[in-house]
Structure 1
């Protein structure tokens, strides 16, 4: 083919795109997207199965009948039933414990007491004769911050108690700074015991002079009582304290919380909801079981207790992120690639979720309904009308009388006994729990492990209170305490010069004694002082069942007779006073410490309740451990003599 040298380019060709090109100012015709061949669209719908009749109708109208009852009472660890209240979240009522008041908090509480006392004194009548600051020095002397001093007259346990405080360097520095300058709120709280009339013991009789224990003028007794009343209320509200140790819901033998709530059915019957094994840190419907079903009261339902409401709505499509669009010609959201989910033959849950998301997701409709917290709700049924005017009654997937293994969701198990067929309560529970909680760093942390070589359980205090409201490493604290004992050795007890005895080497017996033996015998080794042993003992009245009892390792040094090493965390010190005397033993059930172990933490928690109130409390949480461990504890050792 010859090429024209004077016209090398191809002829100019123009192309038109097959789309609407409006020449008008209005865009109505262009946006209408008219189809010239609707038969082709019908054929495509027929090809994809869209013309089948099983899903021809769409829901346009729905009615739902809903019954609602609410919690009426709460039963904690003391077994006393009290009225249910939503002043604080349910987690707060369950988890709150009485924390050990640290030095910073003690100074804060002491300052608050004195501020309330000054306000009450200033507002008192002039005849009372109260003057500002008249009791400041007396209160400082009555409730002081004292720096412990180890005396020669102290026994081993008293010295160990003081050495623990001195080994906390920052806490002891804080004590020296506050000594004689502030009121110790911890001592004040212990003295009053939560009762404002405890100040009556400080009232000075008319014929006596002020002393350390009695220093209040009788005219000012009412002022101190009002101050103590307001101060105790402030402390309980600030820390969300239970009334006493018996009022909290913590069961130390099981290392978890246990409580119960009741629901008034409105016909003279009650339903008890129990949570025997709560330790997760977030309270939800799955934490409860029905311990006693409603027994069919004989009274007519009280509408003020049991509310029935019929809701009429237009159902809306239930959707989730990445859900396939129900319209054919709509662009999909590419943020989630559901087709890229990789599942093996054993990933049944992932396969089910994928199948639901890709095939049945647009078949679900939602009817929103708001219920109050603390409610127990039952949906009697949902009546749905489609575009063809047909009505369908949608009942619960799990019905009474059907097999116990039918599909159901959000239903509570009913405690029917060990050898009976399980039952379920079809109602939905919405407890008054917090949506989000802020948690401090661990104040206490105990790791329970099984040591098969030593045939015992160890409670390792990996984190202990530092005395200032925080926590510190348990191993570091044990080393600091050991160093404190070493510093307690007085210089006078160590001779300045060592005088060796004269030995006649000509004597054959003396010559033999000068040789160093190659081996030595050791009765047993030791472990870190933050390792607290638990030994297996039989339960009372049983020759087979056992539980773990807290024991102690001996502390042996040159200053004192051998004495017990006591724990330093509040949990493991249950039943031990400040002088390390054990008043009551501590037991832990065997099943609570499996082969995987358990980790227990104590933290301060803070949340904002729905009325805007900030709520703080101290609680515990249990998690699964990381397996067995070994302490290296051995007895009757023959070692090389390297000395």
Structure 2
């Protein structure tokens, strides 16, 4: 019988081994599998994947139409030659007889101050800047002064140019309240200077070169002996505040057509080309928005950039798209793509053409990438392709000049064969724009029962802050209140001269463009609405925003906006004004206020009627 002490020694040794295994790291190992030929040592038969039935392979090749020989090779090299030059001149609005004098120079893309073309076209400055923007610029001035140790000057600026809580318009409408704007104005009043007021006061000291000849009295007295240092800070702030919001370059908005119009010119070596855009509704600008013309000439830039030659050689790549059939013999399409489920009737010619391209000819298309500078006009002189047999082919443009004809990426009429037809436009635009809430929104639509076109102000700038204020609910609460006279007696009906319409509905009446001329076209003219109140004289209702005005500085009481009748179709039009921000090519940011035109929501009904008899108390 073994001794019990031997068991104790063995147990202690086993515990020590377990502790040792718990502390010793594990060394990983791998095993490699190598092919071992069983005959001559040659690996070639194993990788050939031979088939036992060669006739089956021939049959599959016959089914895929691979036994029909073609004297053609695959492209292996493509060379593109031409020249490119950035746009150098810009004209806001449609060019007239003095287009060269009204045009301005464009900064080359990538240089300081270069703006996206959308910002230059759409930018507009409202009559009164929104309170949020005026507060932001005032706060930044105080931060700069306090950081430099001039807190007394910051306090003096807040006291000299305060943000007032009263309405910013001279005659605000009593029916539109802006509680959020009034609260924000009361919060900032006396604490933050009005940035817009400070900029207006500094205009008297402008030296014409971006500097200041002095400071306003209140700021100069607060600065004391540090006046020169404070002046440098104010100059730096003035440059920042002046560039915070993009200022318009002329007047691009055409109120008659409810769209933007402009022209941009690029000086190619064989003559300038002008991109003429007559119908730009906002958003993202692209090559198809305008037409290339040789006239009008917008003049020569002060420092023109010479055209750069384009000589790019690359390898053509096969075209690939989602749902493309497999182009390999043993490959199968993804289960999500079912080509047999395509349905097309005899008249669906476009669908049949696309299906035939996808099934039969998609493997025969190649694309040649071409990198072009941002914001340029490029003339393509020739495209030369070399295939696998060494055959060189010169490719022409993708267009058919006969009537009716067709063209791809061409900014001139289809039948055009001049030098302009070979120019491709890469506009200096941005791929993505951040847009804020609408500062103003107006819907245009037709009312067939009233035989009118209405411009309905849905959102208007608040009279205390310039921030967006919903207009529809407030106008309806005021306009629809009508009281019956007290002396009706036992009357069974009440005569109404006109049924009420909300105050934010502005009528447009069809009139002839030239009075007395029966051949003149009809246009839509904005007319004021009459508002009747109990125990008060009737007054005229005018728009509170700027979309229904000819210009932002027009007087609503006397302005009569004229719109071409065809610009308001049956589906209607909606126009918004909003803050927009985007990144520039240099990595900076640009902020502007622009308009965007989009399709409306169809016709509407105002319920407007004249000469009606209704029961007492009915509206």
Q: TM-score, normalised by structure 2?
A: 0.77
- 1:518 is aligned to 492
- 2:15 is aligned to none
Gaps of at least 5 residues in structure 1 are 1-20, 123-130, 150-156, 205-209, 296-302, 487-499, 501-512
- Contact 2:214/2:231 (<8 A) preserved: no
- Contact 1:462/1:475 (<8 A) preserved: yes
Residue 602 of structure 1: CA displacement? 1.7
- The equivalent position to 1:281 in structure 2, one of 280, 283, 306, is 283
- 2:452 is aligned to 456
Residue 29 of structure 1: CA displacement? 4.5
Count of residues in Structure 1 that have an aligned counterpart in Structure 2: 555
- The equivalent position to 2:524 in structure 1, one of 527, 539, 548, is 548
- 2:273 is aligned to 271
Q: Secondary structure at the match of 1:562?
A: strand
Residue 242 of structure 1: CA displacement? 2.2
Report the Cα distance in structure 2 between the residues aligned to 1:481 and 1:103, rounded to whole angstroms: 26
Report the Cα distance in structure 1 between the residues aligned to 2:573 and 2:85, rounded to whole angstroms: 38
Q: Secondary structure at the match of 1:556?
A: strand
Is residue 88 from structure 1 mapped to residue 115 from structure 2 by the alignment? yes
Residue 447 of structure 1: CA displacement? 0.7
Is residue 230 from structure 1 mapped to residue 249 from structure 2 by the alignment? no
- 2:174 is aligned to 163
- 1:178 is aligned to 188
- Contact 1:575/1:583 (<8 A) preserved: no
- 1:371 is aligned to 372
CA-to-aligned-CA distance 1:175-206 (integer Å, 9 cap, x gap):
232333322234445566798469989845xx
Report the Cα distance in structure 2 between the residues aligned to 1:601 and 1:24, rounded to whole angstroms: 76
- Contact 1:604/1:619 (<8 A) preserved: yes
- Contact 1:414/1:424 (<8 A) preserved: no
- 1:299 is aligned to none
- The equivalent position to 1:239 in structure 2, one of 245, 263, 276, is 245
- 1:112 is aligned to 140
Q: Secondary structure at the match of 2:614?
A: strand
1:220/1:595 CA distance change after superposition, 3 Å: farther
- The equivalent position to 1:69 in structure 2, one of 78, 85, 101, is 85
Q: Secondary structure at the match of 1:611?
A: coil
- 1:474 is aligned to 471
- Contact 2:122/2:282 (<8 A) preserved: no
Report the Cα distance in structure 1 between the residues aligned to 2:551 and 2:391, rounded to whole angstroms: 70
Output aligned runs, 1:604-615, within 5 Å.
Answer: 604-615=579-590
CA-to-aligned-CA distance 1:3-24 (integer Å, 9 cap, x gap):
xxxxxxxxxxxxxxxxxx9765
1:203/1:424 CA distance change after superposition, 3 Å: closer
What is the RMSD computed on CA atoms of the aligned residues? 4.1
Q: Secondary structure at the match of 1:161?
A: coil
Report the Cα distance in structure 2 between the residues aligned to 1:252 and 1:192, rounded to whole angstroms: 33
1:518/1:349 CA distance change after superposition, 3 Å: same
Output aligned runs, 1:601-640, within 5 Å.
Answer: 601-640=576-615
- 2:22 is aligned to none
Report the Cα distance in structure 2 between the residues aligned to 1:522 and 1:31, rounded to whole angstroms: 96
- 1:298 is aligned to none
1:196/1:536 CA distance change after superposition, 3 Å: farther
1:604/1:362 CA distance change after superposition, 3 Å: same
Report the Cα distance in structure 2 between the residues aligned to 1:408 and 1:330, rounded to whole angstroms: 35
- Contact 1:145/1:183 (<8 A) preserved: no
Q: Secondary structure at the match of 1:53?
A: coil
1:219/1:337 CA distance change after superposition, 3 Å: farther
Is residue 147 from structure 1 mapped to residue 166 from structure 2 by the alignment? yes
1:52/1:252 CA distance change after superposition, 3 Å: same
Q: TM-score, normalised by structure 1?
A: 0.75
Is residue 290 from structure 1 mapped to residue 287 from structure 2 by the alignment? no
Residue 249 of structure 1: CA displacement? 1.6
- 2:331 is aligned to 330
Gaps of at least 5 residues in structure 2 are 1-33, 298-303
Is residue 557 from structure 1 mapped to residue 533 from structure 2 by the alignment? yes
1:228/1:24 CA distance change after superposition, 3 Å: same
- 2:254 is aligned to 251
- 2:440 is aligned to 444
- 1:58 is aligned to 74
Q: Secondary structure at the match of 2:438?
A: coil
Q: Secondary structure at the match of 2:382?
A: strand
- Contact 2:257/2:567 (<8 A) preserved: yes
Residue 293 of structure 1: CA displacement? 6.4
- 1:5 is aligned to none
Report the Cα distance in structure 2 between the residues aligned to 1:379 and 1:142, rounded to whole angstroms: 58
Q: Secondary structure at the match of 2:372?
A: coil
- 1:380 is aligned to 381
- 2:560 is aligned to 585
Report the Cα distance in structure 1 between the residues aligned to 2:552 and 2:311, rounded to whole angstroms: 59
Residue 514 of structure 1: CA displacement? 9.1
Residue 113 of structure 1: CA displacement? 3.1
Report the Cα distance in structure 2 between the residues aligned to 1:197 and 1:274, rounded to whole angstroms: 37
1:292/1:193 CA distance change after superposition, 3 Å: farther
- Contact 1:575/1:586 (<8 A) preserved: no
- The equivalent position to 1:530 in structure 2, one of 504, 518, 531, is 504
Residue 58 of structure 1: CA displacement? 2.5
1:133/1:555 CA distance change after superposition, 3 Å: farther
Report the Cα distance in structure 2 between the residues aligned to 1:170 and 1:225, rounded to whole angstroms: 35
Report the Cα distance in structure 1 between the residues aligned to 2:328 and 2:475, rounded to whole angstroms: 68
Residue 34 of structure 1: CA displacement? 2.6
Q: Secondary structure at the match of 1:441?
A: strand
Is residue 101 from structure 1 mapped to residue 134 from structure 2 by the alignment? no
1:162/1:471 CA distance change after superposition, 3 Å: closer
Mean CA deviation greater in 458-467 or 352-361: 458-467
Report the Cα distance in structure 2 between the residues aligned to 1:110 and 1:139, rounded to whole angstroms: 8
